[in-house]
Amino acid sequence: MTGVVRLGWKQQLRRPTRTLSPLHLPEILIIIFSYLSDDTLRQSVAPVCRLWLHTVRNAMIREVVWFSEWTPNRLSEALSTLPGAGRLICHNQFTNCPAEALLLDALRQLEVNLQQQLNGSNNNNNNQEQEQQHVSRTPAVETTYRFFFHKNVPLQHLDLVTNKLTSIPFDLFPFPTSLTTLNLTLCRAYGSAFSLTRILALCPLLVSFHAKCRVDALVRITLEPFEQQQSLNITASGLQQQQQQQQQQRENKKQLALRSIILEGLDLDLAKFMNLLTMTPHLKELKLIDMYGGWRRMWADFQNFLPTLPYRLESTHFSYDTEASDSGEIEAMLARQPMSSEWSLWGLNVKPSLLQSLESTVNVVTKLELYWSSRSQGYGASCHRQELQSVPTLIHKYLCNSPHLVHLRVIRSAFLIKDMDLFGRRTFGNLSPLDSKACDPELVHELADASGKLEVWQCRNLKTLQFEINAHLDVIPMTDPVQSRILFGYISRVCPNLEDLFITCPSVCVDSVSRRNYTPRLSLQLYGGICLLSRLRSLKRLRIEDYYLCQGPNCEVYEMNWIVSSGRDSWSRKKRQEVMSEWKSMETEENRLETERKKNGGLKKLTPASAAKEDVRIAKELQNIGLIVDVRNMVKEMDGYFSVGCFPELERLSFEYPIDHRPRNELHRLFPKNSRLDGPCITWF
């Protein structure tokens, strides 16, 4: 408000006073927005106002996906959007893909454009920008256009999953020089090799390098000396004599920007690799997983070499040749990092004595990873080897009993479905009187003899859970929907704060009764209980890998469309009610089995692990784990009048697909001919 105030014979103009908010300062906004993910910035921050859009436009990374199974037109359309993208996810599943040459040409052209921009000779792009300024557009449309097609953004992240290249050798692959993150996965490339030195020379800004070799591929990494560097011949006899020489030559060496190196299932010359580590002063993470080759001879030298590095590693893992390490080596590794926030365990080293020492150690662990080798078998099951069969149960007991898991945020491991079955209800089978497994009273009583004490994971604040669910050598094959209800019910109750969930099933398991191989599977049908995961209100990413999902979802659209907002329409709710009306016979059989177990004393009520309010609540909620009534109550809650929707923060979804889609797009892929989904499927890349 403005006005004139008379002060004697003077007049003074009263100007409006306005206090600026700290949120109007771009410097403060940049700090706040740095804690948010790209999807959150794109969906929730950018549409607020023009100031916020201009603040986060350079922080957001546009992603392009290239998948060899797509049609040629779709592949060409994806490559046309590559200029200005910050991340490229490339999956080359075929050994002779006709579009492989187009991808290589697009990467070469991208590098040419980058060099032209750096040299200041890109006159064509400047002329195009001047022509675009004469096009009449509203300010909002112009801002959005420049944001999504900002051509000055270089390609920084590359995720490459490929077979053996046929058009060119792998050492001639045109990696962009602007890369800061490179994730490389090689499959069906037996006997191949690639030069790590060449990649580091082409990408001087590379900060993170992850390379993984799958089961059916044996790949060797070659290391050549840099042009301005003299290689060090580090051997067992001359290691101590060359420590002083290393200290003198470090200043003259080429320094790399690497902060993270993760190699899995590869062959590597350890002596040359130790020479490379002297050139990475910023390295914080080093993981060499399931390596093979000449590691046995050089392993002792490598352990003596690590303390001589002039920097401190924050996260490490070393395992080789499918063999267990000595207990002294493990203790030495833990001694070098007494307060490390990450523990990476090798499956063959996980024994009761090791877990007892971990339980007695006060720690601040936020990340727990378990690795195992799958090269000795033709499939990736975690516990097919006799030495690994007890490892998932030991990890499960550690998560239940350890008092130092308050800060745990990330778990990557393998678990058995029988450890999550608190009441032995996986014996219910298909809940049919003709099912012999459910009608065997001796088997039911043997597996349902619960101790009554609540033994569940103590990591309530878990954010990321990636695991393989296994039923190897179990008396009950993991093929019935009741086991899916147990799995989904356990996770949704014990880990309510999950943000990233990745569940995978092995391709082969062995039945302990018949000793025959079978393929385990999870049920996506409504009575399979996947809707129980809707309790995870903070879930942002959901991935499920199951071999049977390659053949189709094996369910109807109304059993899955509750994930998106269109699944709460009257038609979908009515269909789900019709499906639940067919469960009466199964519920009758379920009640009969529960009554029989109570008479035999095989069913007991869970008692909380402590008097804490949270433990009492979880013990009460887990009482119905595996039962159909648990699914029925969840569907009523989802389709209720006051329902606020499921997965309000879900951003990525994938069912046996190598690419994470938006939830609506993934449902369109599963049900391509259904029109009941939320509008047309927009871009998949």
- Residue scoring higher pLDDT (515 or 94): 515
On the question of pLDDT at 442 being above 60, the answer is: no
| Cα gap 426→146, rounded to integer Å | 55
| Lowest pLDDT segment from 131-135, 140-144, 430-434, 570-574 | 140-144
Query: Are both 315 and 402 inside the same structural domain?
Result: no
What pLDDT is stored for residue 120 in this prediction?
Answer: 67
Residue 523 pLDDT > 50, yes or no? yes
pLDDT value at 639 more than 80: yes
Of the candidates 159, 174, 173, 177, which has an alpha carbon nearest to the alpha carbon of residue 115? 177
The total number of residues written for the chain in this structure = 685
Task: Of 66-70, 192-196, 489-493, give the range with the top mean pLDDT.
Answer: 489-493
Q: What is the 3-state secondary structure (H, E, C) of 354-396?
A: HHHHHHHCCCCCCEEEEECCCCCCCCCCCCCCHHHCCHHHHHH
- Asked whether residue 233 is assigned to any structural domain, the reply reads no
Residue 194 has pLDDT above 70, yes or no: yes
CB 220 within 8 A of CB 246: no
334 burial (CB, 10 Å; 0-12 / 13-18 / 19+) is middle
Split at pLDDT 50, 70, 90, the class of 501 is very high
Contacts of 42 (CB under 8 A, 6+ apart): 60
> Is the per-residue pLDDT at 632 higher than 50?
yes
Written as six digits, the tokens of 468 are 């393989």
Q: State whether 647 and 560 are in the same domain.
A: yes
Share of the chain above pLDDT 70, in %: 71
When pLDDT is cut at 50, 70 and 90, the band that residue 26 belongs to is confident
202 CB neighbour count, 10 Å cutoff: 16
Reported confidence tier of residue 432, pLDDT bands at 50, 70, 90? low
Domain finish residue from 274, 289, 321 = 321
The pLDDT of residue 181: 93
| Banded model confidence at residue 604, pLDDT cuts 50, 70, 90 | low
Torsion angle defined by CA atoms of residues 182, 185, 189 and 191, in that order, rounded to the nearest 10 degrees: 70
- Looking at residue 670, what is its pLDDT? 85
Residue 232, domain member (yes or no): no
Shared domain check, 420 and 350: yes
Would residue 118 count as lying in a domain?
no
How far is it, in rounded angstroms, from Cα 543 to Cα 502? 5
Three-state DSSP class for residue 433: coil
Could you tell me if residue 311 is inside a domain? yes
Give the CA distances from residue 144 to residues 138, 152, 354, 651, 685, in Å, rounded to whole numbers and listed in that order: 10, 15, 55, 21, 18
Verify that 314 and 424 share a domain, yes or no.
Answer: no
Give 2's pLDDT tier (boundaries 50, 70, 90). very low
53 and 66 share one domain: no
Q: Are residues 295 and 402 in the same domain?
A: no
Pairing of strands 285-291, 342-346: unpaired
pLDDT at residue number 227: 53
* Residues 200 and 292 occupy one common structural domain: yes
- pLDDT beyond 90 at 253: no
Same domain for 79 and 54: no
Burial (Cβ within 10 Å: 0-12, 13-18, ≥19) of residue 594: middle
- Mean pLDDT for 483-511 is 89
Distance CA 414, CA 197 (A): 35
Is the pLDDT reported for residue 452 higher than 70?
no
| 532 and 648 inside one domain | yes
pLDDT at 92: 78
pLDDT for res 533 = 92
State which H helix or E strand residue 334 sits in.
helix 327-336
**What is the Cα–Cα distance from 195 to 184, expressed in whole angstroms?**
13
Domain-embedded: residue 4: no
Tokens of 396: 């499960």
CA–CA distance from 555 to each of 431, 552, 560 (Å)? Answer: 19, 8, 8
**One domain, residues 53 and 172:** no
pLDDT-based confidence at 385, cuts 50/70/90?
low
Better pLDDT: 147 or 93? 93
Q: Which of 533, 541, 576, 537 is nearest to 557 (CA)?
A: 576
> Comparing 107-121, 203-217, 248-262, 657-671, which segment has the lowest mean pLDDT?
248-262
- Which residue, among 158, 159, 184, has the nearest Cα to 170 in the 3D structure? 184
- Host domain of residue 161: 61-113+149-226+254-321
Mean pLDDT (whole number) for 536-547:
88
653 forms beta bridges with 542, 661
Confidence label for 488 from pLDDT (cuts 50, 70 and 90): very high
pLDDT band, residue 491 (cuts 50/70/90): very high
Highest mean pLDDT: which of 200-209, 398-407, 607-616? 200-209
pLDDT over 80 at 76, yes or no: yes
State how many domains the chain has.
Answer: 3
Mean pLDDT of 560-581: 88
Tell me the two tokens of residue 684. 């998949």
One domain for residues 35 and 87: no
Please give the residue that has the higher pLDDT: either 94 or 353: 353
Q: Hunting for tokens 């809650």 — which residue is that? A: 637
Lowest mean pLDDT among 240-254, 274-288, 326-340: 240-254
What confidence score (pLDDT) does residue 543 get?
A: 92
pLDDT category at 145 given cuts 50, 70, 90 is very low
Q: At what angle do helices 72-80 and 100-119 cross, to 10 degrees?
A: 10
Of 295, 321, 347, the residue at which a domain comes to its end is 321
Tokens matching residue 259: 């902060």
Q: What's the whole-number mean pLDDT along residues 362-384?
A: 64
Q: Is the pLDDT of residue 187 over 80?
A: no
**Rounded to two decimals, what is the model's pTM?**
0.80
Whether residue 124 is contained in a domain is answered as no
- What mean pLDDT comes out for the span 612-641? 84
Given a cut of 50, is residue 9 above it in pLDDT?
Answer: no
**Per-residue confidence band for 678, with pLDDT thresholds at 50, 70 and 90:** low
Phi, psi at residue 179, to the nearest 5°? -65, 140
- Residue 160 in this model has a pLDDT that exceeds 80: yes
In a domain, 69, yes or no: yes
| Mean pLDDT rounded to a whole number for the chain | 75
Position 17 scores a pLDDT of: 60
**pLDDT > 70? residue 474:** yes
| Confidence band for 249, pLDDT divided at 50, 70 and 90 | very low
Least confident of 143-152, 201-210, 580-589: 143-152
| Spatial CA neighbour of 590 closest among 455, 449, 423, 476 | 423
- 72 in a structural domain: yes
Question: Which band of pLDDT confidence, cut at 50, 70 and 90, is reported for residue 490?
Answer: very high
Residues 54 and 67 in one domain: no
pLDDT, tens digit (0-9, with 9 covering 90-100), for 32-55: 887 887 777 877 888 888 888 888
Pairing of strands 3-7, 10-14: antiparallel
Kind and range of the H or E element at 666?
A: helix 663-670
